[in-house]
């Protein structure tokens, strides 16, 4: 009887130790012979490729920035695991969270924005996670959030959400059929912003759902008793985008001379408005907003503040 109790105790200990690590399965939608949605612009990548790029960036942020998180993928190349295989992988690998990454399409070229899909609004955790994603998309990432959708909204079920036994969300990162959004989705800049929005949403959710787990990576191995309470470090700066253009404009152009700071041209897409022009680097949004107002006065009425991640 004593030996039996010890075995139970060890099992419990083993179980609780194991549960301190969160496993996230990221599912880049489509792949292989299934391209997913396609942009009418042949220069644009099909949905399957965009999904994979965003999924990998999202996963990389999770593994690089958080501790006690294991990231798995349903595919890491241009293969096509069947929907059954994706579900089976989620249900057999002790996965805590299943996140499927997609891009949307519509016959209406004007429709754009992000969506986070859940199987049912009664799944508290899935809805909460979906909310965090949409909050980040519509907030800091500056996308148009189309909100959370469930089976009733879609009028059909999604296999990967219905049959996965854990908290699961399917994210639509934008419409490849809307020209501006397709350009954004095809730009490294857009992909980075979307992936970091997913990362921040996931991090907020994890910290709230699992308060006993230390997700913040310790930067030093010594003095662990005096780690900061917030555990967050400044990782963003702000700059002012004064304009964008289809063809490159020299930053020495006369129009830019009115500004007291150096104008930097950045390539953000392969087609359409490929270039943007930014001025200044600010550590607070307020400072950037003030400068933006100044720049608008100086003849750049479309100036906006943009957030940059420090790399
Ligand atoms: Zn899709």
Which tens digit of pLDDT belongs to each residue from 38-70? Answer: 999 999 999 999 999 999 999 999 999 999 999
Q: Which residue has the higher pLDDT, 173 or 269?
A: 173
Number of H helices, E strands in the chain: 9, 10
Which residues have C-beta within 8 Å of that of residue 243, sequence separation ≥ 6? 276, 277, 300, 302, 303
**Confidence at residue 219, expressed as pLDDT on a 0 to 100 scale:** 63
> How far is it, in rounded angstroms, from Cα 132 to Cα 47?
23
**Confidence at residue 22, expressed as pLDDT on a 0 to 100 scale:** 97
> How far is it, in rounded angstroms, from Cα 86 to Cα 295?
50
Q: Which of 307, 283, 280 is nearest to 293 (CA)?
A: 280
Q: Which of 208, 32, 206, 194 is nearest to 101 (CA)?
A: 194
Report the 10 Å Cβ neighbour count for 257: 9
Percent of the chain's residues with pLDDT above 90: 67
pTM of the model: 0.68
| Residue 215 pLDDT exceeds 60 | yes
Residue 183 parent element (H or E): helix 179-185
- Give me ligand 1 centre to Cα 26, in Å: 14
- Give me ligand 1 centre to Cα 122, in Å: 24
- Give me ligand 1 centre to Cα 67, in Å: 30
- Give me ligand 1 centre to Cα 36, in Å: 5
**Confidence at residue 10, expressed as pLDDT on a 0 to 100 scale:** 55
């Amino acid at each position: 009887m004593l030996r039996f109790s010890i075995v139970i105790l060890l099992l419990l200990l083993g179980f609780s130790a194991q549960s301190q690590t969160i496993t996230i399965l990221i599912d880049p939608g489509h792949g292989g012979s299934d391209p997913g949605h396609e942009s009418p612009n042949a220069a644009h990548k099909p949905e399957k490729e965009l999904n994979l790029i965003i999924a990998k960036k999202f996963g990389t942020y999770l593994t690089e920035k958080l501790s006690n998180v294991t990231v798995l993928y349903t595919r890491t190349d241009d293969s096509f695991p069947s929907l059954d295989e994706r579900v089976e992988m989620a249900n057999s690998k002790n996965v805590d969270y299943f996140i499927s990454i997609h891009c949307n399409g519509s016959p209406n070229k004007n429709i754009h924005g992000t969506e986070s899909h859940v199987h049912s609004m009664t799944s508290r955790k899935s809805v909460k996670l979906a909310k965090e994603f949409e909050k980040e998309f519509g907030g800091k990432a500056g996308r148009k959030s189309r909100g959370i959708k469930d089976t009733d909204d879609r009028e059909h079920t999604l296999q990967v959400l219905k049959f996965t036994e854990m908290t699961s969300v399917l994210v639509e990162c934008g419409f490849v059929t809307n020209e501006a959004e397709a350009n954004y989705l095809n730009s490294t800049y857009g992909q980075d912003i979307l992936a970091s929005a997913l990362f921040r949403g996931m991090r907020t959710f994890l910290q709230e759902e699992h308060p006993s787990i230390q997700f913040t990576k310790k930067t030093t191995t010594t003095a662990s008793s005096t780690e900061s309470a917030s555990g967050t470090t400044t990782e963003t700066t702000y700059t002012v985008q004064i304009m964008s253009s289809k063809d490159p404009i020299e930053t020495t152009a006369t129009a830019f001379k009115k500004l007291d700071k150096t104008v930097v041209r950045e390539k953000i897409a392969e087609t359409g408005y490929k270039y943007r022009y930014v001025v200044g680097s600010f550590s607070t949004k307020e400072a950037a907003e003030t400068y933006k107002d100044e720049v608008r006065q100086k003849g750049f009425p479309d100036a906006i503040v943009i957030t940059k991640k420090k790399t």
